[in-house]
Amino acid sequence: MPPEKDWRAPPDEAGDDALQYSDIAIGYVSRNDGYRADYRRALDRVGRGAITADDATAALVRRWGISFHTEPSSAFDPKLAVARLDLSPSSIVLAPSLDRIGGVPRLDMKMLGAVRARIRIGDFLHLILADKDGDEHLWVSGSLDRPLAMMLPIGTDPFARLASAERFCRRLLGMAAGPPVLCPPPFRRRHLLKLLRVLDGHHAGASRRELAATLIDGEARQYGAAEWVESRERKRIGRWINEAVELRDGGYIRLLRGG
């Protein structure tokens, strides 16, 4: 996995205002031992030529809900993370248009602007569209040469899907797309990133007292044994550890929906 850094240091993403929930979700799954083992095996198979990077990525996305791309030369790149389509309402879906309802005669790639990656995920072409306010994820079913229409599945997350569709339309019209719909507010972002540090410190063997002193209040280092046992810092760090482990072990799926 990515090179480990001192858990005491603020994460690289801390000042990124364009951070989306999916960007944070990949941070949690990347700390899951089962996913780490699967990803390493996938990288090895791709490196040996036993499977394509796209097929390996598709398998990981199906199993885990989100994954880094498995191209060895760009391993662990969070900008190339792909979330499963049914779990990610911020994704845009283009599919062959029905007869007589119109549609773009042919998708002009120039209208999409900078394309960060083209990844084949099953029957879909997955395009990651670079944007300083937050990348967009476009899933295209069928040929780019046929008339296409945007799909908005009826069901869960309708407003997130509509907002993402509007953002994509603005992009096609050459207008500023604006921020993505599923960006955590500042307080929520800080908390989720802090929980990643909790996981890293816990994995590195830091005691609960050291975690609390670093992430909550340095005075916790000076508490006597009885004072520490009864302290709010000890209770809070216990809750944070439980929350962080739950997010790592499956709760990250909620983040893909903005939860």
Are 144 and 94 found together in one domain?
Answer: yes
The predicted-structure confidence for 12-31, as pLDDT tens digits, reads as follows: 665 566 789 999 999 999 99
Flag whether 5 is in a domain.
Answer: no
Flag whether 160 is in a domain.
Answer: yes
Flag whether 154 is in a domain.
Answer: yes
Tell me the CA distances in angstroms from 108 to 104, 105, 146, 177, one per residue in order.
Answer: 9, 9, 11, 18
Are 117 and 132 found together in one domain?
Answer: yes
Q: Which of 13-17, 59-63, 160-164, 198-202 has the lowest mean pLDDT?
A: 13-17
Are 30 and 61 found together in one domain?
Answer: yes
Are 94 and 162 found together in one domain?
Answer: yes
Rounded Cα distance between 107 and 94, Å, is 10
Residue 128, amino acid: I
pLDDT at 1 over 50: no
Flag whether 158 is in a domain.
Answer: yes
Q: Please tell me the predicted confidence (pLDDT) of residue 110.
A: 82
Are 77 and 105 found together in one domain?
Answer: no
The half-sphere exposure of 10 on its side-chain side, counting CA atoms within 13 A, is: 8
Are 165 and 219 found together in one domain?
Answer: no
The predicted-structure confidence for 203-227, as pLDDT tens digits, reads as follows: 999 999 999 999 999 999 999 999 9
Q: Using 50, 70 and 90 to split pLDDT, how confident is the model at 129?
A: very high
Tell me the CA distances in angstroms from 61 to 50, 126, 238, one per residue in order.
Answer: 18, 12, 31
- Which runs of consecutive H residues, i.e. helices, occur in the chain? 21-29, 33-47, 53-64, 158-172, 186-203, 208-215, 225-229, 232-246, 252-256
**Residue 127, strand partner residues:** 118, 138
pLDDT at 239 over 80: yes
**What's the whole-model pTM score?**
0.90
Q: Please tell me the predicted confidence (pLDDT) of residue 172.
A: 86
Exposure string over 193-219, b if 16+ CB within 10 A, otherwise e: bbbbbbbbbbeeebebbbbbbbbbeee
Q: Please tell me the predicted confidence (pLDDT) of residue 15.
A: 59
Are 106 and 140 found together in one domain?
Answer: yes
Flag whether 9 is in a domain.
Answer: no
- Of 28, 60, 82, which residue constitutes the final position of a domain? 82
Q: What is the CA radius of gyration of the chain?
A: 21
Flag whether 179 is in a domain.
Answer: no
Are 78 and 89 found together in one domain?
Answer: no
Q: Using 50, 70 and 90 to split pLDDT, how confident is the model at 178?
A: confident
Flag whether 7 is in a domain.
Answer: no
Residue 113 domain boundaries = 85-172
Are 130 and 157 found together in one domain?
Answer: yes
- Of 82, 99, 132, which residue constitutes the final position of a domain? 82
- Of 61, 82, 103, which residue constitutes the final position of a domain? 82
Flag whether 180 is in a domain.
Answer: no
Are 215 and 167 found together in one domain?
Answer: no
Number of domains in the chain: 3
